[in-house]
Structure 1
Amino acid sequence: MTSEPSRAKFDEILSQHLPVLGDDKPITDGLRTVEYGLDSIRRLKLLAALESGFEVRFAPDDLTDATFSTAGSLWQAVVALRTAVPSE
């Protein structure tokens, strides 16, 4: 099992893909990503940045609206992928 990822790093990556967020808006678990500009193209770019930044791979089943709906749901997905026991 690997260690839990850094929330600060996650927030930084996420904020780079939310163009309407602004510098004064904190990222909370309830932050609705679509309301801050996460469209389908930005979602793909965010996905690539999270996979690269945290050395994880999202399964096709993880690529749902529910996963990307809030900062908290996306964070939980990253934590689950990062702390999962690798299959052999």
Structure 2
Amino acid sequence: MTRQTWTEPFEKTLRAYLPLLSPDQEVTPDLNLADQGLDSVATVSLLLDLEEAFLVTIPDHLLSVTTFATPGGLWEVITGLRGAETSR
């Protein structure tokens, strides 16, 4: 997968929940978040932090393993929700 651009707050928030990710390791769109230490408890906290930081509410149907599998998938959901909010 090609390098995806996201905001610094997104990456900073995400890194806080990835205890196995070294500080110098690049966060790529297809990075497996579970392999970097994101567990179910951390996922809930990450969800709340991202919703607060980006002023979105991730609907129940998007609360899935797939959404939280990779940074690229998660960022896609957030940007899609932000776009939906601004178009209202």
- TM-score, normalised to structure 1, is 0.87
Count of aligned pairs? 83
Which stretches of structure 1, 4 residues or more, deviate above 3 A after TM superposition?
85-88
Q: How far apart are residue 26 of structure 1 and its match?
A: 1.1
In structure 2, how many angstroms separate the alpha carbons of the residues matched to 1:66 and 1:20?
20
Q: % of aligned pairs identical?
A: 35
Matches within 5 A, 1:8-87: 8-85=8-85
CA shift for structure 1 position 20: 0.6
Structure 1 Cα separation of the partners of residues 79 and 87 of structure 2: 16
Q: TM-score scaled by structure 2? A: 0.87
Q: 1:35 to 1:80 in 2, by over 3 A?
A: same
Residues in 2 aligned to 1:87 and 1:7: alpha-carbon distance in whole angstroms? 20
Gaps of 5+ in 1: 1-5
Q: 5+ residue gaps in structure 2?
A: 1-5
- The residue identity in structure 2 corresponding to 1:65 is V
Higher RCO (Cα < 8 Å, 6 or more apart): 1
1:67 aligned partner, one-letter code: T
